[in-house]
Structure 1
Amino acid sequence: MRAAAIDIGTNSCRLLIAEKKANKSLDVLSRKLEITRLGEGVDQNRFLKEEAVNRVYKALEKYKKTIDKFQVDKIRVVGTSALRDVENPHLLTDKIKKLDLVLEIISGEKEAELNYLGAVSNLDEDFLLIDIGGGSTEFIWPTTSDINFKSLDIGCVRMTEKFISDPKKKIRSLEQKEIQSYVENLLKQKLDLNKKFKVKGVGGTITTVAAVKLALEEYDSSKIENLRLEYFELENILNRFADLDLKTRKKIKGLQPKRADVITAGLIILKTILNYLNVQELYVSDHDLLYGLLKKELLIK
């Protein structure tokens, strides 16, 4: 049995196609990602831009051809932070009906839940799972009887648009401090954790930083999975990003050029979270909500 999952995020649009193996694990058949920046301007004006919707539609046209080629049994398409925030999501939902795709806009809590489902087989008992996206960051952690989910409106695109005046230039230390301060205040107000956790990270910001650490010419999930990132490494990579203009930053190995304008803000969010948690390291995974969606569709527990 085969299924396809598409995640339309604030920054990127991703496809994962997999089938259920005899041992009830997922065998990934195709994985694709395009930076579509659907959330462009959303934090400021709460409306989708037509050109942003067209970028997503073009990516989905390609994905639909891939899905048809693999003859999948089920398709799920979900939208996250940017689509939750706007007053005109119909601009996209109506348009993609032409491709016979039905878009489901999920809550931050549902997004966190799917991330947990995707990553659960790789998690220790005392874990905190974090997913830094373009518009929001999800936190998932266990209690004695339940799993807690929290979604906060801090993402790499949102923080870039809010605080970085010109992403083409070097990122000024004042702008870095403003992002850090904003994230710190929100964490203090909204995230009350009374114990120490091991941290695992999913999402584009974190997997990209891992790819930069390894200087990958081409993204390789097997090299990323369970890679350890230490706090001092994040500081070094952040300083490197911030000290370069956009043109030079785009040439860094492991960094997709279209992420280069927002990656610095994403890394500041990550560093601030670890600092707030008083944690010196995290482990990386790309088993996120796409895996969670496929596990649901293929009835894998």
Structure 2
Amino acid sequence: MESVVVAGIDCGTNSIRLKVARVDGHGMHEVVPRVLRVIRLGQDVDKTHRFADEALERARAAVAEFAGILAGHRVDGIRFVATSATRDAENREEFESMVEELLGVRPEVIPGTEEADLSFLGATSVVERDLAAPYVVVDLGGGSTEMVLGGDGVDAPATQVQAAFSMDVGSVRMTERHLLSDPPADAEIEAAVRDVDAHIDEAFAHVPAGRARTIIGVSGTVTTMTALAMGLKEYDHRLVDGVRVPLRDAYAVNDRFLRMTREERRTYRTIHPGRIDVVGGGAVVWSRVLARISEAAREDHGTPIDSFVASEHGLLDGIVLDFGRRLLAGR
């Protein structure tokens, strides 16, 4: 069977990820397991609209590391995708030129709609058959959060995007904009909730999320909070991937870690050190998105959604799978 080996890089507001996989007619087969580095590229971008010098240096170190990894593998192509922070940065040319110098490819700064489509492709490429359609996939990043609704499996395939919207809310953006105290003050939390809800209102004008029967959550914030809800002492992606979490458990753990000090969070080895200071901002977004979708489902078909499914597969998987399929189609 014909196949290609491709590398995908997802550079977000908080983290950068690399995955190398062989893509064929049956899907993806890992060559290099996912590599993640927290670089906080979006540091202060919400306020200054520029990449900070130290953030660019952290990005350079990670990209140089990825170049070293890729030097040991023969790949048919590399796709480097940059998202929310890079869309907002006035000095993104400096970042793009640095990546091209180190990797030989220029970052593609994709719009939120394409980011949403690729996240949905990655998340639904491995869904269990017993999940009720339509699915709504939520990719909660550092600077933006994508909400994507698929088909009902009857009139349209469950893995086909029906509607999508990218909201300018995320773990880093909400932390830097609102959660300035340690721990956050009630007034700061209330302001963050109002901000998130306003963006969800806008998303719901484009995405009929109430039609959903299953919520699939992807990204580091979602999987971290899932691991904490499960009581894991250390993060283990094998245990987190595909687990179903009751919403009441998600709300409880989100609120608890939102109201902790950073030093208290630091005692939990489940949380990546690079997420310690922004996980509260992510928790606000995640709780509000879950609550609003559940309520919209109750209003739409009489039954609220009472759980979500966590997935380790999202934008990065979508980048690799889509790129590999396009290379195969061009042969």
- What TM-score results when the alignment is normalised by the length of structure 2? 0.84
Q: Which residue is equivalent to 2:309?
A: 283
One-letter amino acid of the structure 1 residue matched with residue 75 of structure 2: V
The corresponding residue for 1:111 is 115
TM superposition shift of 1:127: 0.7
C-alpha distance in 2 between matches for 1:10 and 1:102: 18
**2:144 corresponds to 1:136:** yes
Report the CA distance shift for 1:241/1:161 in structure 2 as closer, same or farther (over 3 A): same
CA contact (8 A) 1:3 1:294 kept: yes
| Aligned equivalent of 2:81 | 78
Letter matched to residue 241 of structure 1: F
CA distance in 1, matches of 2:235, 2:5: 24
> Quick one: which of 23, 45, 48 aligns to 1:45?
48
Q: Distance in 2 between matches of 1:104 and 1:37?
A: 19
Structure 1 range deviating more: 206-215 or 196-205: 206-215
Per-residue deviation at 1:236? Answer: 2.2
Structure 1 ranges of 4+ moved more than 6 A: none
Deviation per CA, 1:52-86, whole angstroms, max 9, x where unpaired?
11111101111111111122221110100001112
Give 2:178's aligned residue.
Answer: 163
Relative to structure 1, the CA distance from residue 66 to residue 181 in structure 2 (aligned partners, 3 Å threshold; closer, same or farther) is: same
Q: Which residue of 2 aligns with 1:176?
A: 189
Structure 2 residue matching 1:61: 3-state secondary structure: helix
Question: How far does residue 121 in structure 1 lie from its aligned partner after superposition?
Answer: 2.6
Q: Do structure 1's residue 12 and structure 2's residue 15 form an aligned pair?
A: yes
Question: Do the aligned residues in 1 keep the contact of 2:122 with 2:316 (CA within 8 Å)?
Answer: yes
The 1:176/1:81 distance shift into structure 2, 3 A limit, reads same
Is the CA contact 1:206–1:284 (under 8 Å) kept in the aligned structure 2? yes
SS of alignment partner, residue 19 of structure 2:
strand
Matched, 1:234 2:250: yes
Counting only pairs closer than 5 Å after superposition, residues 250-265 of structure 1 correspond to structure 2 as 250-265=266-281
| More moved, 184-193 vs 77-86 | 184-193
CA distance in 1, matches of 2:232, 2:93: 38
Gaps of 5+ in 2: 296-304
* Residues 200 and 189 (structure 1), Cα distance of their counterparts in 2 relative to 1, 3 Å cut: same
In the TM superposition, residue 216 of structure 1 has moved relative to its aligned partner by 4.2
Could you tell me which runs of 5 or more consecutive residues in structure 1 were left unpaired when the two chains were aligned: none
Please tell me whether the aligned partners of residues 8 and 319 of structure 2 are also in contact (alpha carbons under 8 angstroms). Answer: yes
Does the C-alpha gap of structure 1 residues 44 and 131 become closer, same or farther in structure 2, counting only changes over 3 Å? same
Higher mean C-alpha deviation, range 56-65 or range 236-245: 236-245
The 3-state SS of whatever aligns with 1:122 is coil
Alignment match, 2:134: 126
**Which moved further from structure 2: 143-152 or 61-70?**
143-152
**C-alpha offsets along residues 6-29 of structure 1, whole Å, 9 cap, x if unaligned?**
111001111111123674443352
Higher alpha-carbon deviation: 147-156 or 240-249: 240-249
Structure 1 contact 274–280 (Cα < 8 Å) conserved: no
CA distance in 1, matches of 2:232, 2:56: 30
CA deviation string 1:169-215 (max 9, x = no partner): 22222222211121112212331325343100111110111222344
Mapped pair 1:209 → 2:225 = yes
1:101 to 102, 105, 120: 105
Is 1:154 paired with 2:158? no
Alignment partner, residue 298 of structure 1:
324
> Residue 225 of structure 1 corresponds to which residue in structure 2?
241
Checking the alignment, whether the CA contact within 8 Å between 2:40 and 2:55 is kept in structure 1 is yes
Give the aligned residue type for 1:82.
A
Paired position in structure 2 for 1:269 = 285
Would you say how many aligned residue pairs link Structure 1 and Structure 2? 299
Q: Give the Cα–Cα distance (whole angstroms) in 2 for the partners of residues 80 and 289 of structure 1.
A: 10
How far is the alpha carbon of 1:93 from its aligned partner?
0.5
Secondary structure in 1 matching 2:125: helix
When normalised by structure 1's length, the TM-score is 0.92
